[in-house]
Structure 1
Protein backbone atom coordinates (compact mmCIF):
# COMPACT_ATOMS: atom_id res chain seq x y z
CA UNK A 1 0.00 0.00 0.00
CA UNK A 2 1.37 3.16 -0.76
CA UNK A 3 0.81 6.51 0.66
CA UNK A 4 -1.80 7.48 -1.70
CA UNK A 5 -3.88 4.49 -0.84
CA UNK A 6 -3.64 5.20 2.85
CA UNK A 7 -4.71 8.74 2.32
CA UNK A 8 -7.74 7.67 0.39
CA UNK A 9 -8.63 5.13 3.10
CA UNK A 10 -8.10 7.65 5.83
CA UNK A 11 -10.06 10.13 3.88
CA UNK A 12 -12.82 7.67 3.32
CA UNK A 13 -12.80 6.72 7.01
CA UNK A 14 -12.85 10.34 7.98
CA UNK A 15 -15.59 10.91 5.60
CA UNK A 16 -17.53 8.03 7.07
CA UNK A 17 -17.00 9.47 10.49
CA UNK A 18 -17.93 12.90 9.32
CA UNK A 19 -20.79 11.90 7.09
CA UNK A 20 -22.08 9.19 9.36
CA UNK A 21 -22.94 11.40 12.22
CA UNK A 22 -23.99 14.13 9.90
CA UNK A 23 -26.40 11.85 8.25
CA UNK A 24 -27.65 10.74 11.61
CA UNK A 25 -28.01 14.36 12.76
CA UNK A 26 -29.67 15.26 9.55
CA UNK A 27 -32.10 12.38 9.81
CA UNK A 28 -32.63 13.17 13.48
CA UNK A 29 -33.40 16.80 12.54
CA UNK A 30 -35.79 15.57 9.85
CA UNK A 31 -37.51 13.37 12.41
CA UNK A 32 -37.76 16.26 14.82
CA UNK A 33 -39.17 18.45 12.06
CA UNK A 34 -41.73 15.78 11.18
CA UNK A 35 -42.69 15.38 14.81
CA UNK A 36 -43.08 19.15 15.13
CA UNK A 37 -45.12 19.29 12.00
CA UNK A 38 -47.33 16.44 13.23
CA UNK A 39 -47.79 18.15 16.57
CA UNK A 40 -48.65 21.42 14.88
CA UNK A 41 -51.17 19.65 12.65
CA UNK A 42 -52.63 17.91 15.68
CA UNK A 43 -52.91 21.20 17.62
CA UNK A 44 -54.34 22.92 14.56
CA UNK A 45 -56.88 20.14 14.07
CA UNK A 46 -57.81 20.25 17.79
CA UNK A 47 -58.27 24.03 17.64
CA UNK A 48 -60.38 23.70 14.48
CA UNK A 49 -62.50 20.97 16.07
CA UNK A 50 -62.89 23.12 19.19
CA UNK A 51 -63.98 26.10 17.06
CA UNK A 52 -66.42 23.91 15.16
CA UNK A 53 -67.81 22.64 18.48
CA UNK A 54 -68.16 26.20 19.79
CA UNK A 55 -69.84 27.29 16.56
CA UNK A 56 -72.19 24.30 16.71
CA UNK A 57 -72.97 25.10 20.36
CA UNK A 58 -73.70 28.75 19.48
CA UNK A 59 -75.84 27.64 16.53
CA UNK A 60 -77.79 25.13 18.66
CA UNK A 61 -78.25 27.73 21.42
CA UNK A 62 -79.49 30.30 18.91
CA UNK A 63 -81.81 27.71 17.39
CA UNK A 64 -83.13 26.85 20.86
CA UNK A 65 -83.65 30.53 21.71
CA UNK A 66 -85.36 31.11 18.35
CA UNK A 67 -87.61 28.07 18.75
CA UNK A 68 -88.47 29.06 22.33
CA UNK A 69 -89.23 32.63 21.24
CA UNK A 70 -91.37 31.36 18.35
CA UNK A 71 -93.18 28.96 20.70
CA UNK A 72 -93.86 31.80 23.17
CA UNK A 73 -94.99 34.05 20.33
CA UNK A 74 -97.26 31.31 19.01
CA UNK A 75 -98.69 30.80 22.51
CA UNK A 76 -99.22 34.56 22.81
CA UNK A 77 -100.98 34.62 19.41
CA UNK A 78 -103.13 31.69 20.49
CA UNK A 79 -104.09 33.43 23.74
CA UNK A 80 -104.85 36.64 21.83
CA UNK A 81 -106.98 34.69 19.34
CA UNK A 82 -108.89 33.05 22.21
CA UNK A 83 -109.45 36.47 23.82
CA UNK A 84 -110.70 37.81 20.48
CA UNK A 85 -113.05 34.83 20.17
CA UNK A 86 -114.41 35.43 23.68
CA UNK A 87 -114.80 39.13 22.88
CA UNK A 88 -116.60 38.32 19.62
CA UNK A 89 -118.96 35.90 21.39
CA UNK A 90 -119.62 38.48 24.11
CA UNK A 91 -120.29 41.19 21.51
CA UNK A 92 -122.59 38.85 19.59
CA UNK A 93 -124.55 38.17 22.80
CA UNK A 94 -124.75 41.90 23.52
CA UNK A 95 -125.84 42.52 19.94
CA UNK A 96 -128.61 39.92 20.32
CA UNK A 97 -129.71 41.55 23.60
CA UNK A 98 -129.64 44.99 21.98
CA UNK A 99 -131.66 43.75 19.01
CA UNK A 100 -134.25 42.27 21.39
CA UNK A 101 -134.32 45.53 23.36
CA UNK A 102 -134.60 47.46 20.09
CA UNK A 103 -137.63 45.37 19.09
CA UNK A 104 -139.20 45.94 22.53
CA UNK A 105 -138.55 49.69 22.27
CA UNK A 106 -139.99 49.68 18.75
CA UNK A 107 -143.14 47.98 20.03
CA UNK A 108 -143.33 50.42 22.96
CA UNK A 109 -142.85 53.32 20.57
CA UNK A 110 -145.64 52.02 18.33
CA UNK A 111 -147.89 51.63 21.37
CA UNK A 112 -147.04 55.13 22.63
CA UNK A 113 -147.54 56.53 19.14
CA UNK A 114 -150.97 54.91 19.02
CA UNK A 115 -151.78 56.36 22.45
CA UNK A 116 -150.57 59.78 21.31
CA UNK A 117 -152.84 59.61 18.28
CA UNK A 118 -155.77 58.67 20.52
CA UNK A 119 -155.00 61.58 22.87
CA UNK A 120 -154.70 63.95 19.93
CA UNK A 121 -158.08 62.74 18.68
CA UNK A 122 -159.56 63.24 22.16
CA UNK A 123 -158.00 66.71 22.36
CA UNK A 124 -159.39 67.59 18.94
CA UNK A 125 -162.83 66.51 20.13
CA UNK A 126 -162.46 68.75 23.17
CA UNK A 127 -161.54 71.70 20.99
CA UNK A 128 -164.54 70.93 18.78
CA UNK A 129 -166.79 71.12 21.84
CA UNK A 130 -166.21 74.82 22.03
CA UNK A 131 -162.57 74.92 22.89
CA UNK A 132 -163.47 74.85 26.59
CA UNK A 133 -160.82 74.98 29.25
CA UNK A 134 -161.72 73.70 32.68
CA UNK A 135 -160.46 74.61 36.11
CA UNK A 136 -161.55 72.82 39.26
CA UNK A 137 -160.95 74.71 42.49
CA UNK A 138 -160.37 72.89 45.76
CA UNK A 139 -161.78 75.78 47.81
CA UNK A 140 -165.27 75.46 49.32
CA UNK A 141 -167.52 78.32 48.12
CA UNK A 142 -171.20 78.97 47.49
CA UNK A 143 -172.56 78.93 43.95
CA UNK A 144 -172.45 82.74 43.70
CA UNK A 145 -168.90 82.91 45.14
CA UNK A 146 -167.78 80.23 42.72
CA UNK A 147 -169.26 82.07 39.75
CA UNK A 148 -167.63 85.33 40.84
CA UNK A 149 -164.26 83.55 41.20
CA UNK A 150 -164.56 82.20 37.63
CA UNK A 151 -165.50 85.65 36.29
CA UNK A 152 -162.56 87.25 38.10
CA UNK A 153 -160.31 84.85 36.23
CA UNK A 154 -161.86 85.41 32.77
CA UNK A 155 -164.28 82.48 32.71
CA UNK A 156 -167.63 81.28 34.07
CA UNK A 157 -169.15 78.17 35.53
CA UNK A 158 -169.29 75.29 33.06
CA UNK A 159 -172.23 74.91 30.68
CA UNK A 160 -173.02 71.28 29.86
CA UNK A 161 -174.90 71.22 26.58
CA UNK A 162 -173.89 67.81 25.17
CA UNK A 163 -173.79 64.30 26.51
CA UNK A 164 -170.08 64.00 25.59
CA UNK A 165 -169.30 67.10 27.63
CA UNK A 166 -171.26 65.72 30.56
CA UNK A 167 -169.30 62.42 30.43
CA UNK A 168 -166.05 64.33 30.20
CA UNK A 169 -166.86 66.55 33.20
CA UNK A 170 -167.99 63.48 35.16
CA UNK A 171 -164.66 61.79 34.43
CA UNK A 172 -162.77 64.84 35.77
CA UNK A 173 -164.57 65.33 39.05
CA UNK A 174 -164.92 62.90 41.92
CA UNK A 175 -166.80 65.20 44.31
CA UNK A 176 -169.81 67.52 44.15
CA UNK A 177 -169.04 70.67 42.14
CA UNK A 178 -170.97 73.73 41.00
CA UNK A 179 -171.97 73.99 37.33
CA UNK A 180 -173.32 76.99 35.43
CA UNK A 181 -177.03 76.10 35.91
CA UNK A 182 -179.37 77.77 38.35
CA UNK A 183 -182.88 79.15 38.92
CA UNK A 184 -181.71 82.35 40.67
CA UNK A 185 -183.31 84.66 38.09
CA UNK A 186 -186.65 82.83 37.94
CA UNK A 187 -187.24 80.25 40.63
CA UNK A 188 -188.22 76.83 39.27
CA UNK A 189 -186.97 77.69 35.75
CA UNK A 190 -183.42 76.42 35.30
CA UNK A 191 -181.16 78.45 33.03
CA UNK A 192 -177.49 78.26 32.16
CA UNK A 193 -175.22 81.19 32.96
CA UNK A 194 -175.37 82.27 29.28
CA UNK A 195 -179.23 82.49 29.73
CA UNK A 196 -179.87 79.45 27.52
CA UNK A 197 -182.66 77.19 28.85
CA UNK A 198 -182.10 73.67 30.12
CA UNK A 199 -183.15 71.36 27.30
CA UNK A 200 -182.62 68.01 29.00
CA UNK A 201 -182.99 66.90 32.57
Structure 2
Protein backbone atom coordinates (compact mmCIF):
# COMPACT_ATOMS: atom_id res chain seq x y z
CA UNK A 1 0.00 0.00 0.00
CA UNK A 2 2.74 2.29 0.68
CA UNK A 3 4.15 1.73 -2.69
CA UNK A 4 0.70 2.21 -4.23
CA UNK A 5 0.22 5.36 -2.36
CA UNK A 6 3.64 6.44 -3.31
CA UNK A 7 2.95 5.49 -6.85
CA UNK A 8 -0.29 7.36 -6.82
CA UNK A 9 1.40 10.26 -5.20
CA UNK A 10 4.13 9.95 -7.72
CA UNK A 11 1.66 9.88 -10.50
CA UNK A 12 -0.08 12.83 -9.01
CA UNK A 13 3.25 14.58 -8.70
CA UNK A 14 4.12 13.61 -12.23
CA UNK A 15 0.76 14.75 -13.44
CA UNK A 16 0.88 17.94 -11.44
CA UNK A 17 4.35 18.82 -12.66
CA UNK A 18 3.39 19.53 -16.17
CA UNK A 19 0.36 21.34 -14.84
CA UNK A 20 2.56 23.27 -12.43
CA UNK A 21 4.92 24.19 -15.22
CA UNK A 22 2.03 25.28 -17.39
CA UNK A 23 0.53 27.04 -14.39
CA UNK A 24 3.82 28.73 -13.67
CA UNK A 25 4.09 29.68 -17.33
CA UNK A 26 0.54 31.01 -17.21
CA UNK A 27 1.30 32.74 -13.91
CA UNK A 28 4.43 34.21 -15.50
CA UNK A 29 2.38 35.44 -18.43
CA UNK A 30 -0.24 36.75 -16.00
CA UNK A 31 2.50 38.45 -13.99
CA UNK A 32 3.93 39.98 -17.16
CA UNK A 33 0.48 41.13 -18.22
CA UNK A 34 -0.22 42.46 -14.72
CA UNK A 35 3.19 44.08 -14.69
CA UNK A 36 2.63 45.68 -18.08
CA UNK A 37 -0.88 46.75 -17.04
CA UNK A 38 0.54 48.16 -13.85
CA UNK A 39 3.24 49.91 -15.85
CA UNK A 40 0.66 51.33 -18.26
CA UNK A 41 -1.50 52.41 -15.32
CA UNK A 42 1.47 54.06 -13.60
CA UNK A 43 2.45 55.76 -16.87
CA UNK A 44 -1.09 57.07 -17.33
CA UNK A 45 -1.18 58.24 -13.70
CA UNK A 46 2.21 59.91 -14.09
CA UNK A 47 1.00 61.59 -17.28
CA UNK A 48 -2.15 62.82 -15.51
CA UNK A 49 -0.06 64.11 -12.62
CA UNK A 50 2.18 65.95 -15.10
CA UNK A 51 -0.85 67.46 -16.84
CA UNK A 52 -2.32 68.50 -13.48
CA UNK A 53 1.02 69.99 -12.47
CA UNK A 54 1.14 71.99 -15.72
CA UNK A 55 -2.41 73.19 -15.15
CA UNK A 56 -1.64 74.22 -11.56
CA UNK A 57 1.59 75.93 -12.58
CA UNK A 58 -0.13 77.85 -15.36
CA UNK A 59 -2.96 78.80 -12.98
CA UNK A 60 -0.43 79.93 -10.38
CA UNK A 61 1.40 82.04 -12.96
CA UNK A 62 -1.87 83.51 -14.19
CA UNK A 63 -3.11 84.27 -10.68
CA UNK A 64 0.25 85.78 -9.71
CA UNK A 65 0.25 87.96 -12.82
CA UNK A 66 -3.33 89.06 -12.15
CA UNK A 67 -2.47 89.79 -8.50
CA UNK A 68 0.48 91.91 -9.63
CA UNK A 69 -1.74 93.73 -12.12
CA UNK A 70 -4.34 94.25 -9.40
CA UNK A 71 -1.66 95.74 -7.11
CA UNK A 72 -0.55 97.96 -9.97
CA UNK A 73 -4.14 99.03 -10.61
CA UNK A 74 -4.65 99.72 -6.89
CA UNK A 75 -1.51 101.85 -6.85
CA UNK A 76 -2.69 103.71 -9.95
CA UNK A 77 -6.13 104.25 -8.41
CA UNK A 78 -4.54 105.54 -5.20
CA UNK A 79 -2.38 107.93 -7.22
CA UNK A 80 -5.44 109.09 -9.18
CA UNK A 81 -7.39 109.57 -5.94
CA UNK A 82 -4.50 111.56 -4.48
CA UNK A 83 -4.31 113.65 -7.66
CA UNK A 84 -8.10 114.17 -7.63
CA UNK A 85 -8.01 115.24 -3.97
CA UNK A 86 -5.13 117.60 -4.69
CA UNK A 87 -6.95 119.06 -7.70
CA UNK A 88 -10.15 119.43 -5.67
CA UNK A 89 -8.21 121.30 -2.97
CA UNK A 90 -6.64 123.55 -5.60
CA UNK A 91 -10.05 124.07 -7.20
CA UNK A 92 -11.51 125.06 -3.82
CA UNK A 93 -8.62 127.47 -3.27
CA UNK A 94 -9.08 128.92 -6.77
CA UNK A 95 -12.84 129.33 -6.28
CA UNK A 96 -12.16 131.13 -2.98
CA UNK A 97 -9.57 133.34 -4.66
CA UNK A 98 -11.99 134.01 -7.55
CA UNK A 99 -14.68 135.07 -5.07
CA UNK A 100 -12.19 137.37 -3.32
CA UNK A 101 -11.19 138.86 -6.66
CA UNK A 102 -14.85 139.39 -7.56
CA UNK A 103 -15.38 141.14 -4.25
CA UNK A 104 -12.28 143.27 -4.88
CA UNK A 105 -13.52 144.07 -8.38
CA UNK A 106 -16.92 145.07 -7.04
CA UNK A 107 -15.27 147.19 -4.38
CA UNK A 108 -12.97 148.83 -6.93
CA UNK A 109 -15.88 149.39 -9.30
CA UNK A 110 -17.74 151.10 -6.48
CA UNK A 111 -14.72 153.25 -5.67
CA UNK A 112 -14.36 154.10 -9.36
CA UNK A 113 -17.99 155.24 -9.51
CA UNK A 114 -17.47 157.30 -6.38
CA UNK A 115 -14.32 158.86 -7.83
CA UNK A 116 -16.06 159.56 -11.15
CA UNK A 117 -18.86 161.25 -9.25
CA UNK A 118 -16.33 163.26 -7.27
CA UNK A 119 -14.49 164.21 -10.48
CA UNK A 120 -17.79 165.37 -12.00
CA UNK A 121 -18.59 167.34 -8.84
CA UNK A 122 -15.09 168.86 -8.85
CA UNK A 123 -15.41 169.69 -12.54
CA UNK A 124 -18.68 171.48 -11.83
CA UNK A 125 -17.08 173.27 -8.90
CA UNK A 126 -14.08 174.16 -11.06
CA UNK A 127 -16.38 175.55 -13.71
CA UNK A 128 -18.15 177.60 -11.05
CA UNK A 129 -14.86 178.78 -9.61
CA UNK A 130 -13.60 179.58 -13.11
CA UNK A 131 -16.75 181.60 -13.66
CA UNK A 132 -16.25 183.38 -10.35
CA UNK A 133 -12.60 183.97 -11.18
CA UNK A 134 -13.50 185.38 -14.57
CA UNK A 135 -16.13 187.63 -12.98
CA UNK A 136 -13.70 188.78 -10.28
CA UNK A 137 -10.99 189.30 -12.89
CA UNK A 138 -13.42 191.38 -14.91
CA UNK A 139 -14.30 193.44 -11.83
CA UNK A 140 -10.61 193.88 -11.10
CA UNK A 141 -10.03 195.21 -14.61
CA UNK A 142 -12.95 197.55 -14.23
CA UNK A 143 -11.67 198.75 -10.89
CA UNK A 144 -8.17 199.23 -12.27
CA UNK A 145 -9.61 201.18 -15.13
CA UNK A 146 -11.61 203.29 -12.71
CA UNK A 147 -8.60 203.82 -10.47
CA UNK A 148 -6.59 204.86 -13.49
CA UNK A 149 -9.28 207.20 -14.69
CA UNK A 150 -9.69 208.69 -11.19
CA UNK A 151 -6.01 209.16 -10.79
CA UNK A 152 -5.81 211.12 -14.03
Asked if these proteins are the same fold (TM beyond 0.5), I'd say yes
Shift of residue 115 of structure 1?
A: 0.9
Distance 2:70 2:118 in 1: 71
Confirm whether residue 80 of structure 1 aligns to residue 94 of structure 2.
Answer: yes
Instruction: Supply the RMSD in Å over aligned alpha carbons.
Output: 2.8
Distance 2:26 2:144 in 1: 165
Shift of residue 116 of structure 1?
A: 0.1
Q: Which runs of 5+ in 1 are unaligned?
A: 133-157, 162-179, 181-191, 193-201
State TM-score, norm by structure 1: 0.57
After TM superposition, where is structure 1 displaced by more than 6 Å over at least 4 residues in a row? 5-8
Name the structure 2 match of 1:13.
27
Distance 1:74 1:68 in 2: 10
Aligned length: 135
- The superposition leaves residues 22-74 of structure 1 with CA deviations (integer Å, 9 ceiling, x where unpaired) of 11111111111112222221222122111111111111211111121112112
- The superposition leaves residues 136-177 of structure 1 with CA deviations (integer Å, 9 ceiling, x where unpaired) of xxxxxxxxxxxxxxxxxxxxxx5354xxxxxxxxxxxxxxxx
Name the structure 1 match of 2:148.
159
Secondary structure of 2:148 counterpart: coil
For 1:106-125, what aligned pairs fall within 5 Å after superposition?
106-125=120-139
Name the structure 2 match of 1:153.
none
User: 5-14 vs 25-34, which deviates more?
Assistant: 5-14
State TM-score, norm by structure 2: 0.73
Distance 1:125 1:8 in 2: 169
User: 7-16 vs 28-37, which deviates more?
Assistant: 7-16
Distance 2:50 2:132 in 1: 120
Q: Which runs of 5+ in 2 are unaligned?
A: 1-14
- The superposition leaves residues 87-133 of structure 1 with CA deviations (integer Å, 9 ceiling, x where unpaired) of 11112112212221221222122111101012223333445x3984x
Shift of residue 10 of structure 1?
A: 6.1
User: 76-85 vs 34-43, which deviates more?
Assistant: 34-43
Q: Given the alignment, which residue of 62, 67, 90 partners 1:48?
A: 62
Distance 2:144 2:33 in 1: 156
Asked which structure has the greater RCO (Cα within 8 Å, sep 6+), the reply is 1
Distance 2:143 2:148 in 1: 11
Distance 1:130 1:113 in 2: 24
